[in-house]
Amino acid sequence: MRKTWLIFSQAVTVAVAVLFVIATLKPDWLQRRQVSGLPAGISINAVQPASLGSATALNAPNSYSAAAKRATPAVVSITASRAPPRNPHGSDPWFQFFFGDRQRQMQQEQQIGLGSGVIVSPDGYLLTNNHVIDGADEIEVQLADGRRARAKVVGTDPETDVAVLKITLDKLPVITFGSTDMLQVGDVVLAIGNPFGVGQTVTSGIVSALGRNQLGINTFENFIQTDAAINPGNSGGALVDANGNLLGINTAIYSRSGGNLGIGFAIPVSTAQLVMDGLIRNGHVTRGWIGVEPRDLTPEIAETFNLPIKEGVLITGVLQEGPASAGGLRPGDVVVKVAGTPVINTSQLLTAVAALKPQTPAVIGVQRGDRALELKVTVAQRPKTLPRRGEPR
């Protein structure tokens, strides 16, 4: 028995020694050993964590660093400044004697506005919000790489709160346009901008809702709602998807304190592109107009007028000799379609009409009592002045 135990212990000692020598001199022999239960072709080192900076690490399921690295170079910080009004008594010697130092100090002071923007063209075109640069005398853009440039205003569209700027620099980073056609509630998005002037910041969240309107922010509203943190200074920045493609321009937040509460709104990139093209090409945005006063159709109104429909836009007024009047539209009609596009509220009617090309006919589907009609209306160009509430649209 003793002899058998001695042989066994010597064999174990030799086996351990051989294993130690192999592990020291040829460790790859052990790493290449097939692991039981794994499919053929997958080895131990194939399931090790990817090294920092590798493609696998950048595209890890829980990381959006690749999207951030792709989009952030094209997102800029914008400083808009406006000189204070000049005092009419500034040249008066007595005024200068008593208030000279204070006057010079006031002239040096400027009203500063901070925001963000997105470079969308190698030619230097930028998208931002109109309210970021509204009334500014001087606009400075700072890129993520530290370069600075003065920006020129190409055009603004207060009705969508979109503005287009242009800078002149070489080798500009450009963001890639995404598509909102397949965007769904729950999709991951990143908000990139310069909140509170602290520097470029990336926050993440999801799409909380689509097609938000009737918020009273802009005339034309079709917002993407997100819970990605958006704060003052993020206005004009980028809302991108998980691949770094531009989905929208961050424009507003719902907040009682001025800070983020998880309810932010972005202008869809499809809207921003249309506005940008019009501003670059014509210096303004061309929209359709038919001259009506609309109101949402409520169940109570539908019941009062014994209407067979429950959704649509009630026409409460028609501009005399306007396009709608000439096409036969009357007060009391309920618009249900514009050029084949269903409309169920005032915001949708306004957007659908605005998308029509001026000086061209369009079929307007209406419900007049118990009759469904199709009226042909020749669309006019929307007036440039922003209409007040209750004026014909």
For 100, the token pair is: 């000279």
Identify the active-site residue in 227, 235, 333, 347: 235
Residue 313 to residues 179, 296, 372, Cα–Cα distance (Å) = 29, 5, 14
Q: What is the largest CA-CA distance in the chain?
A: 121
R_g over Cα of the chain: 32
**DSSP H or E stretch at residue 60:** none
- Of 278, 232, 273, 274, nearest in space to 118 by CA: 273
Could you give the count of Cα atoms lying within 13 Å of 350 in the half-sphere of its Cβ? 22
Residues 392, 291 contacting (CB under 8 angstroms): yes
Distance CA(197)–CA(392), nearest Å, equals 41
- The answer for residues whose C-beta is within 8 angstroms of residue 382's C-beta and 6 or more apart is 286, 287, 288, 289, 354, 358
Closest to 325 (Cα-Cα) out of 293, 354, 350: 293
Tokens 């009592």 belong to residue: 369
User: Which among 161, 227, 241, 333 is annotated as catalytic?
Assistant: 161
In whole angstroms, give the CA distance from residue 274 to residue 282.
12
Rounded to whole angstroms, the Cα distance separating 125 from 141 reads 12
Would you call 170 a catalytic residue per the annotation?
no
At residue 329, the 3 state secondary structure works out as coil
The dihedral over CA atoms of 381, 382, 383, 385, expressed in degrees to the nearest 10, equals: -150
Q: Which helix (H) or strand (E) holds 174?
A: none
Residue 101 a catalytic site member = no
* Cα–Cα distance for residue pair 390/293, rounded to 1 Å: 6
Please say if 235 is a catalytic residue.
yes
Catalytic residue among 131, 157, 227, 347: 131
Which residues are annotated as catalytic? 131, 161, 235
